[in-house]
Amino acid sequence: MRCQLCTLITLQLLASQASAQTVVPWRILGDTSGAPHGCSASEGAAAISLFVAAIRRADSASLERYVAPRFVFSTGRFTPSEPFFAGRSVPEVLRYARARARANEHMTVQAVWFNGWRGRDLQFGPIWFLRYADDVASEARLGYGKGAYRCGQGIIVFNLGPRPAEDPGPDRYRGVPRASR
């Protein structure tokens, strides 16, 4: 019995370390320094990637894991006929994600600008991304957003919309060093 408990604890520790060590495939910009004790920006960056993947897969278990108990996810209109969406529960976001999956939607994060820690919250924005969906356009739409990650809980805010025409995107930061993790 004691060995089984040790094995279980070891597996849980490895699983938590694996999610915290997720390598993000996008550029990290801005200020990620000043994390409170027990928190890390790499966990926040991983939560962003894992949350986006959970939306794409309409994965309820992952959504539960990567959002805080109280959160909001919203997306603006990318086309005139597309409705605005705001969800504050996993079932609401899951319904949205399933509907978007039927339209073959997926989002590719390009870069995230971090605005530092405020208490236990790591603020980010803008987040630049490309949005693909059969009912949105024949080519990728440029997206823009903001949000926050709460240490030890998950995503608390994730707001998305079309990228303003005057925003040049993350390429304006080419050559800027990656933020400290």
Predicted pLDDT at 170: 87
In a domain, 61, yes or no: yes
Predicted pLDDT at 178: 54
Predicted pLDDT at 179: 55
Predicted pLDDT at 135: 87
CA–CA dist 62, 56 (Å, integer)? 11
CA–CA dist 78, 100 (Å, integer)? 13
Predicted pLDDT at 174: 64
Residue by residue, pLDDT tens for the chain (181 residues) are 444 433 333 323 333 444 445 668 899 999 999 999 999 999 999 999 999 999 999 999 999 999 999 999 999 999 888 899 999 999 999 999 999 999 999 899 999 999 999 999 999 999 999 999 998 877 899 999 999 999 999 999 999 999 999 988 887 776 555 554 4
CA–CA dist 170, 140 (Å, integer)? 16
Predicted pLDDT at 177: 54
In a domain, 11, yes or no: no
In the Cβ-directed half-sphere of 89, how many Cα atoms lie within 13 Å? 3
In a domain, 8, yes or no: no
In a domain, 9, yes or no: no
Structurally, the chain folds into a number of domains equal to 1
In a domain, 162, yes or no: yes
In a domain, 12, yes or no: no
In a domain, 92, yes or no: yes
In a domain, 137, yes or no: yes
Q: What is the longest distance spanned by two Cα atoms in the chain?
A: 62
Phi-psi region of 46 (alpha: psi -120 to 50; beta: other; left: phi over 0): alpha
Predicted pLDDT at 171: 79
CA–CA dist 165, 181 (Å, integer)? 31
Whole-structure pTM value: 0.82
Phi/psi of residue 141, each to 5°?
-100, 140
Structural domain boundaries enclosing 46: 19-173
CATH classification at residue 110:
3.10.450.50
